[in-house]
Chain A
Amino acid sequence: MNNNSEQIGRYLQNEMNVEEKAAFEKQLTNDKDLQQELFVQIQIVKAVKAAGLKNTFRKTIHRRLINQRLIQFGIAAIILVAAAFVFYAIKTNKLSHGERTSTESAETFVINNAADTIIETEEGVVFAIPAHAFNSKRDKVQLEIKTAISPYNIMKQGLSTTSNGSLLQTAGMFYINGYENEKPLSLVKNIDVSVPANEIDPAMKLFDGVMDSSGRINWINPKPIEKRLRTYDITTLDFYPPNYIPVVKALGKNYSNKEYTDSLYYSFSGYPEKDPAAMANQPQGGKIFFQKCASCHVMGKDFTGPNLQGVLSRWPSKQALKDWILNWKDAVKKYPYAADIANWSTAAEQVFAGAFNDAELETLIKWINEWQPQVELRDTTNKGSHIKKDTTSSLSDVLIFEGHLEIDPSRIRAIWDTKFNNTILATKEFEERLHFLHGLCTAEYFQAYLEGMNKPLYEIDQWCADNSAGETRKTFLEFAARKDGGVMLKEGMQEKLSDYFQKKYKAYQEATEKTFAKHQAELDSLSKIADDKGIEQAARDIIREDKNFNEEFCMNLTDAYKQIGIKRTCNDTIPPPSLPKYYTVTIDTVGWKNLDVYVFDATANRESMSYTDPVTGKTATLTYKELNITIEDQQQYERVLVYLIPDSLNSFQRIEQEGNTFKEKLNSLLRYDAVALAFKDDKTYFYRQNTIQPGDHVFKLSLTTGKGLKNNLNIYSKQRSADIKTEFEYQVFKQAELKRQSELRKEEDFREKVALAIFSCHEGRWFVRPAVEGEDVVTEKE
């Protein structure tokens, strides 16, 4: 048979192009062998799919079966404790009747079969006999109990410790039988027996004693003994992921306050999809995208901006795309595609020139280019990364466990509740397992323990081991080997608790989501307030600067004309609106219009000017002199602002900082006051210098209050002080806003660190399934 598997595979999967397909089909009509091979391959693939399906059903039936067994088991659980060789003759009744009276150490009791009875023998063996344990119709039942726990008693009673001829090590024996009028009864309910022991040996087994014809007891039918579990108040146990508290402690938070650690932990329910801190786990390109592009672009669909999936392939070159991003208006001139896409929406694209450096742009484009829709985000992708760690994984992992998120904090919250006291969950043994379960990228095993509360722990351990592989399986096997038992549940309790869990889990999840949404809405509204105020402030800045300029220009102009002997008021002049327009004006008279230009330039550039009028020969000068202000201990402040308040203008101006110095040029026609404002933590500092002269100054700021600030500003005219007050109010608000944002960042940073401690495998979740590489021809060689 020829090997055309590859070609047939591609044909069947519809991966051929038109020509290839036509060629293949043509060959198919002539080639009988190929026809047969195609047929066989179709049959095989069908068989494989059927086998996979059957396999899946095998697992689902198995899981359903386990659940069924777990539920059934609770009704008839046997719990035997700390005994070794137990003279266990009740059910089988194999001991001869005569045995009963042959030893003097037998204790006889009469018990009420209709009530629960607890009996403790001289040697400290405790029998817990439930009501109606014996199949007697009467209430009164005689009970014969013998115990031989100490070696002395064993020898005194002549009991042997051999099992099919080989000697056994014993931790004690007991015999119990019930009679009704000397007639032995059989047991219909199980009896709990506790045998005292100095040390627990997990290898100890429970044997049935059978008397042979010579009267010797042979010990047969060994059964492993479960360790009975002690339950604790569940709230005193530690159900957190093992790294959680150490990290909270290391980050300096109040780790011993359970109320705090609980609320912090539970707040991670649903993480990280909804947590902004999860952003930090984005690859670099993703981070850039979500910071700078996501307000208009959504990957995978059109939004305010078009879908960027595969955008690189639509552009003639990567450079063209980069040009577009940085300045789309320029790109439109260069590339026809850009002109095309510019019409995509009426909303103009933002110009990002300066927002990215080239390396960032590269990273961003790479990320966008590699982006794939996150189909089945919760499915195999993350499991894949989990399995990679576990190289010995078998198929069963892959087929059984479809979901694989870590244990959601809401699940823990739902079980960490006194409702679950007196179940296997309220044991140190479960606590230890849970610490291990937290590290697995699935809640399935956790669910197994929850659903198996009426089973002994070791059976659930074993089930988990049977359904896992590699290191995980090894650990579960180690747990199972401890033979940790169960905690008896009342009938129907398992279902009730499961139901309770489901309801609570859902409720807590929803509550966390709601809280998160509320929190997010609060943050959004605060940010919006800050944004709005920022916009208002920017508008005020523009208006003020414009007004200042006009006033100063007018004043300079009046003064300059006065110097050359021309009387002119500001109202005569319409300040030139902008330079290009200015040069197009036709000049018909020589003289003062030229002076306008000089004064305008001098005012705009804040430069001294000297102009001699060609007609009168008079000179007009304007003088600007440098002012340099430094702040004492400037580095101790978070933010420093310096303002000039000119006497003849209606407003104030802010001085730009260059290096450590605040530099400005003072117009000699004006008198200025200088004011400095600084912020540190919640405190405000202030300094004022009246009538400042050009030259170098050092300001020493002092602490002030809001009221002090106001008083300091009240010396100015109403109009000006109102302007300055508004400015200062805004600056105080901005300071608080900066602080809020920095705290938010700190909080996010903190949450991210805690999240890493809680979720051991979430890093992978943001990454998407790698693209399937193009099929290349495989040549097989024998």
Chain B
Amino acid sequence: MTDKEIIEYLRNDKYQKATNGLYNVLPAVKKYISANSGTADDAKDIFQDALVVLYKKVQSQSFALTVPLKTYLLAITKNIWLQELRRRNKMPVSTEQVDIPDALPSEEKDSNLAKAAFNLLGERCRQLLILFYFKKKTYRELASFLGFGDERTAKNQKYRCLQKAKENYLTLSTNRHE
């Protein structure tokens, strides 16, 4: 699979195919993360985050590669992990410099807050919002997938979950300011 093909897969939401093409980066990620005070689970988690970042980056038609895609993905992974270590107040053992341009995840405070606010939700709320916003399910489908009686309930439930996430966000942001 060429880099171009993988990018096309990502642009067309062919997640499995894209993953198959990028999968062999994972051992390198594992190696790097385990050498830098992370676990195998961390490695998988960070690899997933990196794929999400890559996915978002390639959506832009102006996206241009200066290095092989796998190198680029690995660079993203390393940067996310450095970020994560900083968050955990641990300095990496090996501070290998990753200076591939644009291989940085967006490190906005707000998006991290929103992520945290989302993760604070219950499993059901998370499912529901993902189904609605990511999988683009209709209310009717939500009702049948999640076992609600009718669309109206699904709709109400969705707003309740969204509202809860927004409240979480505001609480988190207030706490952080203090």
Contacts and interface: CB of A to CB of B under 8 A. Distances in A.
Contact of A52 (B134, B139, B156): B134
A395 interface: yes
Interface stretch (B42-50, B81-89, B90-98): B42-50
Given A5-B159, A41-B162, A398-B145, A57 B110 contact: no
29 contacts: A5-B159, A39-B110, A40-B166, A43-B113, A47-B114, A47-B165, A48-B129, A49-B133, A50-B56, A50-B111, A52-B133, A53-B52, A53-B134, A55-B134, A57-B51, A58-B44, A61-B48, A64-B16, A64-B19, A65-B23, A384-B141, A384-B145, A394-B127, A395-B145, A398-B131, A398-B145, A778-B155, A778-B156, A780-B163
Interface in B56-98: 56
Contact of B141 (A43, A53, A380): A380
Interface in A239-285: none
Interface stretch (A122-130, A385-393, A424-432, A570-578): A385-393
Nearest 8 Cβ contacts at the A-B interface: A52-B134, A60-B19, A43-B114, A47-B114, A52-B130, A57-B51, A47-B118, A48-B129
A384 B126 CA distance: 19
B163 A5 contact: yes
A399 interface: yes
Given A47-B117, A384-B141, A387-B145, A5 B133 contact: no
B47 A61 contact: yes
Interface residues of A, number: 49
Interface of B: 15-16, 18-20, 23, 26, 44, 47-49, 51-52, 55-56, 110-111, 113-115, 117-119, 126-127, 129-135, 137-141, 144-145, 147, 151-152, 155-156, 159-160, 162-163, 165-167, 169-170
Per DSSP, chain B at the interface is helix
A1 B167 contact: yes
Given A43-B110, A391-B147, 18 more contacts: A3-B163, A5-B166, A9-B162, A40-B170, A43-B114, A44-B169, A48-B118, A52-B134, A53-B55, A55-B130, A61-B48, A63-B19, A64-B20, A380-B137, A395-B130, A395-B131, A772-B138, A773-B140
A57 B169 contact: no
Contact of B15 (A46, A60, A398): A60
Interface string A616-637: 0000000000000000000000
B159 A780 contact: yes
A552 B129 CA distance: 85
Contact of B159 (A769, A770, A778): A778
A387 B156 CA distance: 22
A411 to B, nearest CB: 18
Contacts of A39: 110
Contacts of A203: none
A63 B19 CA distance: 9
A528 to B, nearest CB: 42
A6 interface: yes
A776 to B, nearest CB: 9
Nearest to A56: B15
A483 to B, nearest CB: 27
Contacts of B160: 780
A723 interface: no
Contacts of A110: none
A267 B169 CA distance: 58
Give the most central of B119, B135, B160: most A CB within 10 Å: B135
A45 interface: yes
A341 interface: no
A44 B36 CA distance: 31
A37 interface: yes
B163 A49 contact: no
Nearest to B136: A380
A44 B162 contact: yes
A261 B170 CA distance: 66
A54 B55 CA distance: 10
A392 B145 CA distance: 8
A51 interface: yes
Contacts of B49: 54
A51 B166 contact: no
A43 B111 contact: yes
Nearest to B110: A43
A64 B152 CA distance: 38
Contacts of A45: 133
